[in-house]
């Protein structure tokens, strides 16, 4: 079946519906949802029962880049700075040094066991060197896996921030294959330029986006998520245009916005959470359509060898070396090693050799597809069991909390007080989002004229309002009281 303008909406909506139904029941059998999405795409493809012919790497790459923007940005919005701050350097080490070591190990191994040249092997290693944000975010959150210490923020920070390094290595080794006269050392300036510009652009656009979101008055709450989408794509494309790493910029922009006060912040976060799931489904469906299963079968032997090397050798070596600078129990290091899931991102990166037209591009793509599928099936289905074996998961008794306890723990608030707004208060006439209250405090409710108001970012404070304040400590409560009164 060919895809036409007349049937694309019907086909797309049916595939989306089937994927959601498949995902709903997948965990009853211990299968990660993302694998089901991929399987639906393969079954609908040219060699499946759907018979849809799709052999367009450029379109798949474009869809992948758009989807990754949403996935990384949404992951950034959900990242709490206070949570990742204690593990910041561990995450950076894993997402840079860890990715590089993984790429080198796989590259040399592929060079030794195949007829790949060293550069072709390193290109393959670079493509599968990063853990996949979509896979890690979705599996950890859907399983509701509670981990000891700071394991979970470490894993989510790594998966959300290591794609830029893998992307750089992929482009660098691909350019060395296309231009064999170039020196390996010539890529180092490009690396530092991309990372530095990407980081600066991410925080810069984050600050600019915050001001735009809070100062512009759109009139309709539903328009704010649309505004944020436009700002997200501006961040990526502008950073990429000036030579920076757009993926890093998008993730950092999301982190910045997620940790500051925004108008309609809850609406924005919920909208992006849904869009991230939609993009994950579309991405895996597209990559499933792009794959020809008969071309994957001949590489199963090589794929199994590389997958085994990745899971049991390269990833553990990379993690142990990357975390050797920090204090962490060996069991926790081993678990970080095991949660090295590959997913859609390596498959998206594997489209770059296809588009560049290098000799072994098709072979690389099929190997990457098989390795990614193996990783999600082997590691994704055993995350809870391995956490239990290594004693890094929390007992169920420690996870059972009342709804109030969950709210208080999530927001780390412990002090509650009502503050009345008098005629002398500088808060009168100001919007909630413009109030300069400490980040460790929130306005939970407003009492006005014997009625209760749920405050939003654009809610204006009026004289005689009674504000219900939640803070994490008494000192913050004193600061809020002094500021409002």
**pLDDT on residue 128:** 94
219-262 tens-digit pLDDT:
788 899 999 999 999 999 999 999 999 999 999 999 999 988 88
Tell me the mean pLDDT in the region 113-129: 94
Q: With cut-offs at 50, 70 and 90, classify the pLDDT of residue 121.
A: very high
Q: With cut-offs at 50, 70 and 90, classify the pLDDT of residue 3.
A: low
Q: Which residue has the higher pLDDT, 475 or 159?
A: 159
**pLDDT on residue 419:** 85
Q: With cut-offs at 50, 70 and 90, classify the pLDDT of residue 24.
A: low
pLDDT of 5 above 70: no
Residues 6+ away with beta carbon under 8 Å from 199: 248, 249, 252
**pLDDT on residue 22:** 66
CATH number 1.10.3720.10 given to 403-484: no
For the ranges 24-38, 159-173, 192-206, 374-388, the maximum mean pLDDT occurs at 192-206
Tell me the mean pLDDT in the region 266-291: 87
| Alpha carbons 263 and 228: distance in angstroms, whole number | 11
Tell me the mean pLDDT in the region 103-113: 96
**pLDDT on residue 408:** 42
pLDDT of 375 above 80: yes
Tell me the mean pLDDT in the region 203-210: 95
Query: Among residues 120, 110, 90, 140, which one has the least CA distance to residue 314?
Result: 110
**DSSP track, 16-40:** HHHHHHHHHHHGGGT--HHHHHHHH
391-436 tens-digit pLDDT:
887 765 555 444 444 444 444 445 777 888 888 888 888 888 788 7
Cα-to-chain-centroid distance, residue 34: 14
Q: Which tokens go with 70?
A: 């949403």
3-class DSSP state of 13: helix
pLDDT of 335 above 80: yes
CB 435 within 8 A of CB 478: no
433-470 tens-digit pLDDT:
788 777 667 888 888 887 888 887 778 888 888 888 88
Q: What is the mean pLDDT of the chain?
A: 84
**pLDDT on residue 411:** 43
Q: Which tokens go with 7?
A: 């049937």
Q: What is the percent of the chain with per-residue pLDDT over 90, rounded to a whole number?
A: 36
Cα-to-chain-centroid distance, residue 203: 17
Q: With cut-offs at 50, 70 and 90, classify the pLDDT of residue 25.
A: low
Of the candidate ranges 102-106, 114-118, 321-325, 475-479, the one whose mean pLDDT is the lowest: 475-479
**pLDDT on residue 122:** 95
Secondary element (H or E) of residue 442: strand 441-448
**pLDDT on residue 414:** 56
pLDDT of 353 above 50: yes
**pLDDT on residue 413:** 42
Q: Where are the domains of the chain?
A: 8-398, 403-484
pLDDT of 147 above 50: yes
Query: Among residues 265, 171, 208, 237, which one has the least CA distance to residue 455?
Result: 265
Secondary element (H or E) of residue 466: strand 466-471
SS (H, E, C) 82-95: HHHHHHHHHHHHHH
**Which residues sit opposite 470 in a β-bridge?**
416, 442
**Maximum Cα interatomic distance, the chain, rounded to a whole number of Å:** 80
3-class DSSP state of 420: strand
- CATH topology classification for 8-398: Na+/H+ antiporter like fold (1.20.1530)
pLDDT of 358 above 80: yes
| Alpha carbons 31 and 406: distance in angstroms, whole number | 29
CB 290 within 8 A of CB 60: yes
Of the candidate ranges 9-23, 35-49, 246-260, 356-370, the one whose mean pLDDT is the lowest: 9-23
What region, left, alpha or beta, does residue 270 occupy, with left being phi > 0 and alpha being psi -120 to 50 degrees? alpha
**pLDDT on residue 396:** 54
Query: Among residues 390, 280, 374, 377, which one has the least CA distance to residue 337?
Result: 390
DSSP 264: T
DSSP 394: P
Tell me the mean pLDDT in the region 111-136: 88
Give ∠ CA 189-85-442 in degrees, rounded to 5: 130
Query: Among residues 274, 277, 379, which one has the least CA distance to residue 30?
Result: 379
| Alpha carbons 237 and 247: distance in angstroms, whole number | 10
Tell me the mean pLDDT in the region 49-61: 84
Q: Which residue has the higher pLDDT, 302 or 10?
A: 302
């Amino acid at each position: 079946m060919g895809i036409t303008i007349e049937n694309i909406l019907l086909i797309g909506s049916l595939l989306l519906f089937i994927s959601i139904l498949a995902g709903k029941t997948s965990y009853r059998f211990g299968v990660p949802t993302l694998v089901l999405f991929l399987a639906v795409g393969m079954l609908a493809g040219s060699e499946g029962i759907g018979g849809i012919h799709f052999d367009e790497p450029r379109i798949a790459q474009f869809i992948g880049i758009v989807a990754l923007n949403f996935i990384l940005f949404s992951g950034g919005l959900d990242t709490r700075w206070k949570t990742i701050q204690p593990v910041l350097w561990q995450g950076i080490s894993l997402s840079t040094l860890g990715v590089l070591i993984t790429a080198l190990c796989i590259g040399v191994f592929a060079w030794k066991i195949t007829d790949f040249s060293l550069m072709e092997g390193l290109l393959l290693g670079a493509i599968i060197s990063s853990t996949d944000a979509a896979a890690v975010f979705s599996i950890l959150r859907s399983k509701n896996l509670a981990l000891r210490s700071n394991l979970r923020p470490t894993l989510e920070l790594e998966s959300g921030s290591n794609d830029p390094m893998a992307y750089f290595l992929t482009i660098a080794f691909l350019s060395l294959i296309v231009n064999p006269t170039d020196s390996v050392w010539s890529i180092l300036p490009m690396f530092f330029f991309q990372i530095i510009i990407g980081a600066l652009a991410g925080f810069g656009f984050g600050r600019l986006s915050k001001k735009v979101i809070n100062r512009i008055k759109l009139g309709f709450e539903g328009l704010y998520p649309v505004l944020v989408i436009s700002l997200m794509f501006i961040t990526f494309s502008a950073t990429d245009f000036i030579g920076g790493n757009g993926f890093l910029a998008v993730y950092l922009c999301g982190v910045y916005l997620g940790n500051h006060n925004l108008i309609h912040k809850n609406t924005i976060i919920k909208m992006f959470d849904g869009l991230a799931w939609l993009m994950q489904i579309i991405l895996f469906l597209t990559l499933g359509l792009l794959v020809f299963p008969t071309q994957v079968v001949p590489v199963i032997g090589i794929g199994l060898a590389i997958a085994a090397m990745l899971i049991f050798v390269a990833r553990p070596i990379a993690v142990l070396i990357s975390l050797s600078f920090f204090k962490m129990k060996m069991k926790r290091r081993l678990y970080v090693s095991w949660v090295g899931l590959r997913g859609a991102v390596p498959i998206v990166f594997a489209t770059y050799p296809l588009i560049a037209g290098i000799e072994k591009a098709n072979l690389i793509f099929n190997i990457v597809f098989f390795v990614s599928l193996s990783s999600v099936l082997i590691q994704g289905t055993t995350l809870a069991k391995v956490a239990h074996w290594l004693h890094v998961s929390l007992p169920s008794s420690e996870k059972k909390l009342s709804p109030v306890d969950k709210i208080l723990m999530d927001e780390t608030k412990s002090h509650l007080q009502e503050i009345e707004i008098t005629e002398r208060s500088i808060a009168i006439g100001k919007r909630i989002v413009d109030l300069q209250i400490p980040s460790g405090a929130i306005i939970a409710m407003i009492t006005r004229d014997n009625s209760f108001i749920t405050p939003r970012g654009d809610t204006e404070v009026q004289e005689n309002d009674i504000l219900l304040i939640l803070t994490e400590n008494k000192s913050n409560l004193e600061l809020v009281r002094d500021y409002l009164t």
